[in-house]
């Protein structure tokens, strides 16, 4: 069963922007923490960003701070990842994931913390 649905990936030039979206196909996300992860060929899955259920708490991989922004609109049952100033090394398959929000975010960039995953969307940054 498909738990999460992602959209917004594609081909973009270096320096460009994309906004990824993540929504649940059959349940409400308003009590879930959401993480974004990415995996490039030959590399391990990497935590990108995560956000608590209330949109108050958000976290980023240190190397991505200032370029990527996570947000959510619970009324639309959607979480977003705004990606700016994209670089070729950002090329990867991007996944969103959900876990019940327990009010503690120490491990929110660890893929083992999540129960439900999207199918992944390809982001390619190239001239």
Distance (Å, rounded) from C-alpha 102 to C-alpha 123? 31
pLDDT tens sequence across 44-54: 999 999 999 98
pLDDT tens sequence across 74-107: 899 999 999 999 999 999 999 999 999 989 888 9
What pLDDT does 25 receive?
A: 81
Quick one: tokens of 92?
Answer: 């990867």
Average pLDDT, the chain: 94
Residue 10 class from Cβ within 10 Å (0-12 exposed, 13-18 middle, 19+ buried)?
exposed
66 Cβ contact list (under 8 Å, min separation 6): none
Residue 46 class from Cβ within 10 Å (0-12 exposed, 13-18 middle, 19+ buried)?
middle
Query: Residue-wise over 69-107: b if at least 16 C-beta within 10 A, else e?
Result: bbebeeeeebbbbebeebeeebbbbbbbbbbebeeebeb
pLDDT (average), residues 110-118 = 95
Distance (Å, rounded) from C-alpha 91 to C-alpha 111? 19
């Amino acid at each position: 069963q498909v738990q999460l649905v992602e959209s917004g990936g594609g081909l973009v030039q270096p320096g460009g922007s994309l906004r990824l979206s993540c929504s649940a196909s059959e349940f409400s996300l308003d009590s879930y923490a959401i993480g974004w992860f990415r995996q490039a060929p030959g590399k391990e899955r990497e935590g990108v960003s995560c956000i608590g259920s209330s949109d108050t708490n958000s976290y980023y991989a240190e190397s991505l701070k200032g370029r990527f922004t996570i947000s959510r609109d619970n009324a639309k049952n959607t979480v977003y990842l705004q990606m700016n100033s994209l670089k070729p090394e950002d090329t990867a398959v991007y996944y969103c994931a959900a876990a019940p929000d327990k009010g503690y975010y120490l491990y929110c960039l660890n893929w083992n913390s999540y129960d439900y995953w999207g199918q992944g969307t390809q982001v390619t940054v190239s001239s």
